Amino acid sequence: MHPQENDTPITQQIRHATTQKETKTMEVLCLTIVSSLLGTLDHQCGSLQGGAGNNGSIASLIRQSIFDQMLKHRNDANCPAKGFYTYDAFIAAAAAFTRRGFATTGDVDTRKRELAAFFAQTSHETTGGWKTAPDGPNAWGYCFLEEQGDPSDYCVSSSQYPCAPGEKYYGRGPFQIAYNYNYGPAGEAIGVDLLKRPELVATDAVVSFKTALWFWMTPQSPKPSCHEVITGEWTPLAADRTAGRSPGFGVITNLVNGGVECGKNTTDANAEDRIGFYKRYCDLLGVSYGDHLDCNEQDPFA
């Protein structure tokens, strides 16, 4: 169910409870209905903890209308992912990661900035945009669902995450995860056997979003997670400072594809595209960009 824009009897009850300072009544109402109304009551229930409250918080930060504007052409007839990436699927997947802090860490601006950064990076990975595309190249995120061409099986020898016979582990989903050594741990984290059923990343939208959120939230030691960087939880080590890595969106690009796009002393075209998505989404969400957007002078992570 999407957030409701109009005043409803339930929101009238919340308003009455607030007006009368009936705090306990308000909390009971919030706890029982926030999970179904998602973002509508977040301004009243923001202090409540738990999965339902946090789920509602994310939905209030990025409503259906904003989601549709951000991913404006995802359902274009020429996009292979047409009809797949839905708002409801994202909200359902995000609910599984709220207790780990996705879009629930820090103040409102920090949470919005995390959403903008997440969708910017994944939009670049799935973009169908081009320089003269209608509404600009950064309005075409989430156009693709699977790696194009004739990809290999992306299977490498692994005793921990062995490939299933006949299965392929090429790029799928918002982050285009690839290789059995990514499908395996991603599946473990979200409770789905993706080694045996990797196709679920391209057939189940909630699973697909969950794999992207797993990648976003999971550090790959000694690297931080994308989540830790955008929320300010990452403190650069001396080696990071020497390598020019300062907290900001640029470090996330470095984590995702630094070996190709970073350290060139000029902005790589792909890195520039990521920044373009990020700025557009920040503008739509009404939040500032923060510092250090590019990774031009950053050494890639080892």
Q: Which residues are catalytic?
A: 125
Q: Where are the alpha helices (DSSP H) in the chain?
A: 9-19, 23-37, 42-45, 51-61, 64-70, 87-95, 108-125, 180-190, 205-217, 226-230, 238-242, 249-261, 269-285
Of 75, 63, 71, 10, nearest to 41 (Cα)? 10
Q: Are 175 and 121 in contact (CB under 8 A)?
A: yes
Cα–Cα distance between 235 and 246 in angstroms, integer? Answer: 9
Place of tokens 């339902």: 52
Tell how far CA 162 is from the center of its chain.
Answer: 28
CA–CA gap between residue 13 and residue 278 (Å, rounded):
38
Residue with tokens 């609910």: 95
> Cα angle at 220 between 208 and 246, to 5 degrees?
105
